[in-house]
Structure 1
Amino acid sequence: MNTHLTVAFLGLGHMGGPMAANLGRAGYAVLGYDPAIVAQQQATEDGLTVSDSAISAVAKADVVITMLPNGKLVRDTYREVLAVAKPNSLFIDCSTIDVADAREVASMAQSAGHRAIDAPVSGGVAGAAAGTLAFMVGGSEVDFGSAKPLLDVMGRKVVHCGGSGVGQAAKICNNMILGVSMIAISEAFVLGEKLGLTNQALFDVASNASGQCWALTSNCPVPGPVPTTPANNDYQPGFAVALMEKDLTLAANALRDNGVEADLGLRASEIYRRFNTEGGGGLDFSAIVKDIRSRSTEGE
């Protein structure tokens, strides 16, 4: 692991901040940038060097990592910094964006004489802090090999999924599974409550039977059965509803663009969009159980 590399880390929010801090603790020189004062202060407390602009951070770096909210911001950032980056710099975008956007920014970087991969993550804020994220990587084998030592510091599982943009494709598909699963689990808990079944009893059965899945056993949407879940902390995220809605929108767009018949994926996107619009955006995505419960009738 070449910890002599200097890393510019652009985007020091709830995910990017802990990821950058883990790189710093591993011995990399990290130049962080984020326009938010709170993020800058936390990065300084974590021992990182905070730059006054994205340009000043990138100009001194060998590797540029971005963790930004959307594709437009990634595109705008690349346009801003590509010209000042050292020749043959490695650009790693960990944001969750559209596949087309991922391919566009990779092409922009390559045209400017650099290397680029897309490496979106799964694992939420807890995984970012613990360094246990899963990375889904799109790009060449050579560029993947160059990036892997850094990704190994920030994550526990690093998978090369294919060429440019395919990492984003894997992220979109994975989170569609997650969103649909959480809705199904939440509906089952609400039904169980109405049928006189305790949440603990349903969890004990489903977690050891064919209903078992990550959304149940690691992010159980009701308090009690799994003490470490957001449900036991007033649904503080975790992985926020607003982010799930964003990812499911990307999935829904991809489903339509590619002619995939996917009733559940499209419906999950609608359900989380409604919950986000009606005020649930800052809660953990498992709080969808509250929305389902509140919309359910008393029954006969």
Structure 2
Amino acid sequence: MKIAFIGLGNMGGGMAANLVKAGHTVNAFDLSGDARAAAADAGCEAHDTVESACESAEAVVTMLPNGEIVRSVYGDQVIAATPKGAIFLDCSTIDVTTAKEVEAISVGAGFEMVDAPVSGGIAAANGGTLTFMVGGTDSAFERAKPILEGMGKAVIHAGEAGAGQTAKICNNMLLAIHMIGTAEAMKMAQKLGLDPQKFYEISSQSSGYNWSLNAYTPLPGVGVESPADNDYQGGFATGLMLKDLRLAMEAADKADAAVPLGARAASLYEDFAGAGNGGLDFSAIIKTY
């Protein structure tokens, strides 16, 4: 299949490369010349404009920074340049309202579309082991699924348009809460004189078990290898976690949903990022304890 891939940043570059490995022809575009060159090295056909990347595409995949850019790229470029009948897959993490609106505009212009945000981070994007949470019609999901399977280990149909974004922001709000709770417990145990490794061995096999502790331990030298063992470099940046928490708070407000722990997590990450830590992995929140 000929696929246009728009947005070749830390996540998109690896995702586009995996589509090439899966046997697709990938027309790649990014505003960064370095990103386009890296995509070409990975087997993509680099393009200088969105329009040229899309003009013969059977599918368009986007991985963009925010909802405003997604709306602009589709409304001003992708829809006009892509042959009718193509399938659109937006893998960006954006607000639910914009996701629904862009999908409605695309459908009205003769395209099927899904919102398909991801979980897994840069390593999973490079390794082709992402999880995709997909919103859209049954028909659009069935068309999108084989493409997404070339980039991930799990492709789950969450529901109608916007459901993928809903799943993503709720999941990451939960992740933020788990990470903060894990950090608090680990530092409290340490200050009470308990060896952090012993705490990990106990809690990771008892009722304190959770992903942030077992698979992404936030304290260096304890538990599994994680960004904590690399001075909190790589992984999932605090700035990106804060972006997702802001989206979650916006959605909670619109839905009149009570999220006191989510709101507190957002406040803590707001302060942590504001102190100059936005580029550190989100598990570095343990430094505040």
TM over 0.5: yes
1:225 equivalent to 2:222? Answer: yes
* Counterpart Cα distance in 2 of 1:116 and 1:204: 45
Q: Secondary structure at the match of 1:113?
A: coil
TM-score, structure 2 normalization: 0.98
Q: Which amino acid aligns with 1:187?
A: E
1:262 equivalent to 2:259? Answer: yes
* Counterpart Cα distance in 2 of 1:38 and 1:285: 27
2:59 maps to what in 1?
A: 63
2:46 maps to what in 1?
A: 50
Identify which of 144, 147, 160 aligns with 2:144. Answer: 147
Identify which of 163, 188, 191 aligns with 1:166. Answer: 163
> Which deviates more, 268-277 or 94-103?
268-277
> Can you list the C-alpha shifts for 1:84-133, whole angstroms capped at 9, x where unaligned?
11011100000000000100110111111111000000000011111111
Identify which of 111, 132, 137 aligns with 2:134. Answer: 137
Q: Conserved in 2, the CA contact under 8 Å of 1:237 and 1:285?
A: no
1:77 equivalent to 2:77? Answer: no
Runs of 4+ that moved beyond 6 A: none
> Can you list the C-alpha shifts for 1:108-165, whole angstroms capped at 9, x where unaligned?
1111111100000000001111111110000011110011111111111111011000
Q: Which runs of 5+ in 1 are unaligned?
A: 294-300
* Counterpart Cα distance in 2 of 1:107 and 1:235: 40
Q: Secondary structure at the match of 1:161?
A: strand
> Can you list the C-alpha shifts for 1:200-255, whole angstroms capped at 9, x where unaligned?
11110111011111111111101123443000111012100000000000111111
* Counterpart Cα distance in 2 of 1:38 and 1:199: 42
* Counterpart Cα distance in 1 of 2:259 and 2:226: 29
C-alpha displacement of 1:39: 1.2
Q: Secondary structure at the match of 1:146?
A: helix
Identify which of 113, 116, 131 aligns with 2:113. Answer: 116
* Counterpart Cα distance in 2 of 1:71 and 1:228: 34
Which residues in structure 2 correspond to 1:171-210 (within 5 Å)?
Answer: 171-210=168-207
2:16 maps to what in 1?
A: 20
Q: Which amino acid aligns with 2:16?
A: A
Q: Secondary structure at the match of 2:150?
A: helix
Q: Which amino acid aligns with 1:92?
A: L
C-alpha displacement of 1:176: 0.6
TM-score, structure 1 normalization: 0.94
> Can you list the C-alpha shifts for 1:165-223, whole angstroms capped at 9, x where unaligned?
00100001100100000000011111112111122111101110111111111111011
2:286 maps to what in 1?
A: 289
Q: Which amino acid aligns with 2:262?
A: G
* Counterpart Cα distance in 2 of 1:215 and 1:157: 20
Q: Which amino acid aligns with 1:267?
A: R
* Counterpart Cα distance in 1 of 2:56 and 2:87: 13
* Counterpart Cα distance in 2 of 1:214 and 1:227: 11
* Counterpart Cα distance in 2 of 1:34 and 1:175: 26
Aligned residues: 288
Which residues in structure 2 correspond to 1:84-95 (within 5 Å)?
Answer: 84-95=81-92
Q: Which runs of 5+ in 2 are unaligned?
A: none
1:10 equivalent to 2:16? Answer: no
1:245 maps to what in 2?
A: 242
Identify which of 232, 237, 240 aligns with 1:235. Answer: 232
Q: Conserved in 1, the CA contact under 8 Å of 2:8 and 2:39?
A: yes
* Counterpart Cα distance in 1 of 2:149 and 2:47: 25
